[in-house]
A = this chain, B = another copy of it.
């Protein structure tokens, strides 16, 4: 082994973020897929709560990836990518890994993006709310 890859977010931190998000999801009565990726966009942890969507496994992971990929919330891409927006078509332009609606948020420390959370299964308002609860625990 040549060396060690830097862990930008620890497994313990990822669990704390996911647990806080899951508590919010239970509170609002909407099971969710919740994913956390590191600063390189690689999966650090994921959980599919009981009753959450199978189709949201990828969506949650890709929301977190997208928040890393464009250094911001996926919610910020929604208006820009609508049919009359300046980057309409973005979601098609990267092999199916980008999500352009709410639920993906960077995890920031001292001004640097250390990872991101992605939440999916509920409405976009619920997804965003649950993602924010996760962010608040980081």
Tier of interface size on chain A:
35 or more
Chain B residues near A94 (CB-CB < 8 A) = 55, 58-59, 62, 96
Chain B residues near A55 (CB-CB < 8 A) = 66, 68-70, 94, 98
Chain B residues near A93 (CB-CB < 8 A) = 58-59, 62, 91, 96-100
Q: Tell me the minimal C-beta distance from A20 to chain B in angstroms.
A: 15
Q: Does A29 sit at the interface, judged by CB under 8 A?
A: no
Say whether B101 contacts A90, CB under 8 Å.
yes
Chain B residues near A6 (CB-CB < 8 A) = 8, 39, 112-114
Tell me whether chain A's interface is mostly helix, strand or loop, or mixed: loop
Q: Does A23 sit at the interface, judged by CB under 8 A?
A: no
Closest to A93 in B: B99
Say whether A48 contacts B43, CB under 8 Å.
yes
A89–B97 alpha-carbon span in the complex (Å): 11
Q: Tell me the minimal C-beta distance from A112 to chain B in angstroms.
A: 5
Q: Tell me the minimal C-beta distance from A50 to chain B in angstroms.
A: 5
A8–B15 alpha-carbon span in the complex (Å): 23
Say whether B71 contacts A100, CB under 8 Å.
no
Q: Which of B8, B53, B124 contacts A71 (CB 8 A)?
A: B53
Q: Does A64 sit at the interface, judged by CB under 8 A?
A: no
